Amino acid sequence: MIDEQQLIRVELDASHGFWVKFVKIYKKNRRNENLRLL
């Protein structure tokens, strides 16, 4: 049986991974927009 502490850690890791991906995509899009503006 999974204890609550472990469950919370898994959820935090998942959301952290989501944010890392989101930020990477966001930064890439920003760079593309900046290039388009030049």
CA 37 to each of CA 6, 21, 27, 29, 33: distance values in angstroms, whole numbers, following the listed order: 47, 25, 15, 12, 6
Which pLDDT belongs to residue 38? Answer: 61
Which pLDDT belongs to residue 35? Answer: 76
pTM, two decimals, is 0.52
Helix (H), strand (E), coil (C) string for the chain: CCCHHHHHHHHHHHHHHHHHHHHHHHHHHHHHHHHHHC
Which pLDDT belongs to residue 3? Answer: 87
Q: What is the pLDDT of residues 1-38, one digit of tens each?
A: 668 998 889 999 999 899 999 999 999 998 888 777 66
Which pLDDT belongs to residue 25? Answer: 92
